[in-house]
Structure 1
Amino acid sequence: MMTQITENVPDPVSKTGTTLQTFPRFSVRETRKSTIVAFLAWTVAVYDYILFGTMLPRIREDFGWSSSQALLISTFVSIGTAVVVLGVGPLVDKLGRRKGMMFTVGGTALSSVATAASGGALSLVLTKSIGGLGLSEQAVNATYLNEIYDVSESEKVRRNRGFIYSLVQSGWPIGALLAAGFVAVVGSLFGPENWRIAFLIATIPAAVIAVICSRLEESPQFELQDRIRRLQKSGKNDEADVLARAYGLDVHRSSSFKRIFDSSNRRNTIVLSLVWTMNWFGIQVFSVLGTTVLEEAKGFSSNSTLVLVVLANAVGALGYLFCGWAGDRFGRRNTIIVSWTISALLFVVLLLGPSTAGFVLPVYMFALFFLMGPYAALNFFMAECYPTDCRATGATFIGAMSQPGAIIGGFLLTWLVAINIGFGSAALFVGCIGILASGLLMLGTRKIAAKA
C-alpha cells in the first residue's frame, strides 16, 4: 500500500524542495465501513463496562454486600482495569490498529462471559478487570480513525472529521442506554436477581464484532511505520531513514512510551492525564454509578431509576454530536472547557434541587449531555497530538488515567459515605468538583500538529 498516489492530488514538498511521497487514499466505502465498525465496537465495549455499574445494586443484594462494600469492590475493579489498559497502547503501536480493535473487542466478550460466571468479590474484580480491554477500545478507534480520515478520498470527511468521529463516540451513551434498557428487560423477564443473564448475552455481539474487525483495512500510516520498524530491526537503518524521509517523517528509535514524554509531547501527556483523572471523578459518580446516585441521593426506586437513566442517556448521546460539530468549528479545547463547566454546574443543581422526576430528568439529561459529549472532541484532540509511531500509546496512556480517577473518586466517595456525610453531599464534593477541575485543566494543553 505504501506507493505514491497516482491520482491528481498535489504532492507535498519538503523543506529541501524534494517532492514527498503521499499515502494512498481510503475510499469513501472503506471510510464508511471503518466508521460503522468502530461505532459498533465502542458501543458493545461500553455496554459491558456500564452494565457493571448499572447492575451493582443487584449484584450487591445477591452477594449480601453493604453500600460501602459495593463501592469498594467497584474501586478495586477500577484498579485492575487501569493495569490492563496501560498495556494496550504499546501493543497497538507494535501490532497495528486493526489487530488492536480485534483484541480489545474480543476482550470485551471475554469479560462479559467471565463476569456471568463469577462467584464472589475476588473473581468479580478479576473478571471485570479484563473489561479494561474494552475500555481502551475508544483510544484504539480514535487512533485508527484519525489516520483513516486523514487519508480519506472524501474532502467532506477530512473537513468534518471531528463531527464524524462524534458519531462513533456516541456509542458511550448508546451503550449505557442499552445496558439500562436490557437490565429492565432481563429484570422483568427473569427477575432482578438474574443479573448474570445480561452479561452472558453481551458476549454474543462483542464476539461477532471482533470477527468483523478482522476484515478492516490497516491504516497506511501504521503500515509505513511498521515497514520502517522492520527495516531497523533487520539492521537496514539507512534504508529506514531514506523511506522515512521520502514521506517527510523523522525516524525515532526510542520506545513509544518514551516518545510520549519527550520534549515535544510531554506537556500534553501530563496535562491530559490530569484532565482524565479529574473528569473521571464525575464519570464514576454520575455515569458508572448513575443508578446508585439516583437511588441513594434522590430517593428513586430501582425501576424508576432505570427509566430515568435510559431517557437521560438518550439525550446525552446528542451531546457527542454537538461537541464533535462544535469542536470542528470553535476548537476542540474550547468546546471541552465550556461544556464541562456547564456540566459541573448542572450536577450541582441536580443534587441540591427537588427529587421529582419532572425536575431530575431534564437536569440529568443536559448534565450528561455536557459531561459525555466533550469526549468526542477530547479523544480526537489526543490523537491529533501525537505522531503515528506513538499515537496509540499516547492515547491509551492518557485514557488509562481514567482509572486512577475512578479509583481515587471511588475511595473518596466510599469514605464520605462511610462517615455518614450523605450520598448526595459525597457525590457533589467528588463528582462536581472533579468535572469543573478537569475543564479548567484543559487550559494547560497545547495543540501539536501531528505528523503522519
Structure 2
Amino acid sequence: MATTPTAEHQFDIPEVPSPELLRERRRLHTKLKLATQIGEGIDGYIIGGIGMAMGALTTDLHLSTVMEGLVGASPLIGIFVGGPLFGRLADRYGRRPVFLVDMLIFLIGSVLQFFVTDGLQLFVIRLVMGIAIGGEYAIGAPLLSEYAPRKGRGRLLASLEISWYLGYALATVVGAVFENVHGGWRYTLASSAVIAVACVALRGGVPESARWLLSRGRREEAERLIARYGIDIDVDAELADTADAQAQGLRALFSRRHLRSTVFASVFWAALVLPYFAIGTFWTQVFDALNMGDNAVAALLVYSFTAVAGVTAGCLVVDRIGRRKLLIPPFWITALALAVVAMWPKSTPVIVGGFLFFIFLNAASSALTAVYPLEVFPTSLRATGVGFASAMSRVGAAIGTFLLPMGLDRYGARFVLLVGAGVLALGGLVSHFLAPETTDLDLAKAARTSAP
C-alpha cells in the first residue's frame, strides 16, 4: 500500500506558492502542453490528410485496391512498431530525448511525401512516419501526465484528443483547398512539415520527468525538479511501484499484476478507433456506397468538425462524471447507431442522424484514450504500456482500414457498418468488466486500481 509522504519526503514547497514558483510552473506547463498537443494534432492531421488525398493520389500513382489499402493503413502499421519501441526507450533512457527525436523523424517523412513517384514509396514513407507517431503516443501524453496535478488531470490529458481531432479537421480543410489543384494531394500530405517544425522548436527546453527520475533512482535530480516547479507527487507511492516493473521491462505488461491493465487499455482503445479510422480514411467510398457521393467532401468536413465538438464535450465532462460513465454507455449507443444506418442504408435522415450520433459520442469517449492508458500503468512501465496499447489499437485500425475498401467492393456498406457496430459492442463489454475508476487519484495510486 502507498503511504502518505513522510517528513523524509517533504520538499521545500510552500503551501502558498511564491509568484516566482507560479511563473515557473505556468511556463513549463504551457510549453509542455503546447509541445504535446501539437504532436498529438499531427497524428490526426496525417490521417485526415490521406482521407482527402486518397482519391487523387490513387489516380495519379495508379494504385491497385491492395496498395490503396496499404497506403491508407501504413501509418497505423508503423504505430504498431513505434509505440512499443519508443515506449521502451522512453522508460529506459528517459522521456526528454525520445520526445525530440520522434518529431525530427516525422518532419523528414513529411517533406519526403511530396516527392514520391509510386505507391510503394508512399507506403514506406508513411510507415516510417507511423513509427514516429507511435513514439509520440508512447512519450507525449505520458510526459504531460507526469507533470499534471491530480485535480483536472483528466481534462488536461483529454485536451490532447481535441488536438487530434483539430488536426484531422484542419487536414480536411487543407485537402479541400488543394482538391482542384494539379498534384494538390502532394501539398496536402507534405504540409504536415510546417506543424512539425513548430513542434520541434517547442521541445528543446522541456525538462526530464521527475517521476521517471524517481523510477530510476535519481532522487536528488527529481527533488530539485519537484521543488522548482511545485510538482504534485506522492513520492512514497512512486518509489514503491518501481522495482518489479523495472526489472522485467516489457514482460511486466503480461505479469499477473499488470495483465488486466494491458488487456483493458489495448482493447478499449482499438474498439474506439477502428470504426473511426476505417470509415474516415475511405469516407468518399463509403458515401458512394450509400448513394450520397455528390456531397462527400462537404460530408467529410461535417464529419470532422462534429468529432471536434464531441471530443471537446468529452474533455469538459471527463473529471465531472468519471471515466467509466464516459466510456461504457457511449460504446453501446454508437454500436446501435451504426447498426441502424446499416439496416436503413437508403434513408438520408437515418444516414445523417446515425453517423452524426456515432461521430459525436465516439469522439467524446475517445478523449479517454489520452487518459486511461496513462493512469493504469505505473511510472516505470507507463511509456511502455501506453506504447503497447497504442500499437494494439492501431493494429485493429490498420486491419479495418486495409480491409474496408475490399469489404465495400465485395459485401457492400451494410456489412462494413455491422462489423463496425460489433467492434464497438465488444469494446463496451470488455470495458464493463475491466475499466477501473481513476478520477482524481494520484497517478501511482490510479495504477493500482487495475491490479488484482
State the TM-score, normalized to the length of structure 1. Answer: 0.82
Counting only pairs closer than 5 Å after superposition, residues 188-267 of structure 1 correspond to structure 2 as 188=180, 190-191=181-182, 193-228=183-218, 248-252=239-243, 253-267=246-260
Whole-Å separation in 1 of the counterparts to 2:237 and 2:184: 59
In structure 2, C-alpha distance between the alignment counterparts of 1:272 and 1:177, rounded to whole Å = 26
Deviation (angstroms), 1:415: 4.6
Contact residue 242 and residue 378 of structure 2 kept, 8 A: no
1:19 CA displacement: 4.3
Question: What amino acid is the match of 2:168?
Answer: A
Query: 1:55 maps to what in 2?
Result: 53
Query: Deviation at 1:394?
Result: 0.4
Mapping for residues 29-428 of structure 1, pairs under 5 Å: 29-67=27-65, 69-75=67-73, 78-132=76-130, 133-150=132-149, 158-188=150-180, 190-191=181-182, 193-228=183-218, 248-252=239-243, 253-301=246-294, 304-353=295-344, 360-418=351-409, 420-422=410-412, 424-428=413-417
One-letter amino acid of the structure 1 residue matched with residue 387 of structure 2: T
Kept in 2: contact 1:269–1:394 (CA 8 A): yes
The answer (yes or no) to whether the contact 1:278–1:437 under 8 Å persists in 2 is yes
The letter of the residue matching 1:142 is A
SS of residue in 1 equivalent to 2:63: coil
Task: Tell me, in whole angstroms, the C-alpha distance in 2 between the residues paired with 1:369 and 1:280.
Answer: 13
- Classify 1:428/1:172 alpha carbon distance in 2 versus 1 (closer, same or farther; 3 Å): same
- Deviations for 1:244-299, whole angstroms, at most 9, x for unmatched residues? 86964344241431222222211110232233333343123223333332233343
1:89 and 1:395 in contact (8 A); partners too: yes
In 1, the alpha carbon distance for the partners of 2:102 and 2:168 equals 18
Helix, strand or coil: the match of 1:131? helix
Give the drift of 1:178: 0.8
Distance of 1:287 and 1:373 partners within structure 2 = 16
Which amino acid is the alignment partner of residue 279 of structure 2? Answer: F
The structure with the greater share of residues assigned to helix is: 2
Contact 2:339 2:421 in 1 (8 A): yes
Q: Which runs of 5+ in 1 are unaligned?
A: 1-11, 151-157, 232-243
- Deviation, 1:401, is 0.6
- CA contact under 8 A between 2:82 and 2:134: conserved in structure 1? no
Amino acid aligned to 1:110 = I
> 1:219-254 CA distances to partner (integer Å, 9 max, x unpaired)?
2112333444999xxxxxxxxxxxx86964344241
Q: Per-residue displacement from partner, 1:88-138 (whole Å, max 9, x unpaired)?
A: 111122233333332333233222222222222221221111122125424
Q: Deviations over 1:167-197 (max 9, x none)?
A: 2211122111111110111124x23x43111
The Cα shift of 1:76 comes to 5.3
Match of 1:241 in 2: none
Report the CA distance between 1:202 and its aligned residue: 1.8
Work out the CA distance in 2 between the residues paired with 1:246 and 1:264: 16
Question: CA–CA distance in 2 between the matches of 1:372 and 1:443?
Answer: 19
1:343-383 alpha-carbon deviations (Å, 9 max, x no partner): 22223334444668766445433321111221222321111
Residues 30-75 of structure 1 show CA distances to partners (whole Å, capped at 9, x for unaligned) of 2233223322221123212331233222221112234455224434
| 8 Å contact from structure 1 (residues 279, 437) kept in 2 | no
How far has the Cα of 1:143 moved from its partner? Answer: 0.8
Separation in 2, partners of 1:245, 1:359: 54
Amino acid at match of 1:204: V
Q: Percent identity?
A: 22
Please state whether the residue corresponding to 2:191 is helix, strand or coil.
Answer: helix
CA contact (8 A) 1:312 1:362 kept: no
**403, 407, 429: which one aligns with 2:418:** 429
Cα contact 2:310–2:360 (8 A) shared by 1: yes
By how many angstroms is 1:446 displaced? 4.4
Separation of aligned partners in 2, 1:134 and 1:80: 8
| Unaligned stretches of 5+ residues in structure 2 | 14-20, 222-234, 446-452
In the alignment of these two chains, the number of paired residues is 414
- Checking the alignment, whether the CA contact within 8 Å between 2:52 and 2:176 is kept in structure 1 is no
- Which whole-Å CA distance do the structure 1 matches of 2:300 and 2:123 have between them? 25
Alpha carbons 1:336, 1:378 under 8 Å: kept: no
Deviation at 1:205, TM superposition (A): 1.8
C-alpha separation in 1, matches of 2:156 and 2:259 = 28
TM-score, normalised by the number of residues in structure 2: 0.82
RMSD across aligned positions (CA): 3.0
CA distance in 2, matches of 1:292, 1:125: 20
Query: 2:55, 2:289 → 1: CA distance?
Result: 10
CA positional deviation for 1:313: 1.7
CA distance in 2, matches of 1:125, 1:270: 29
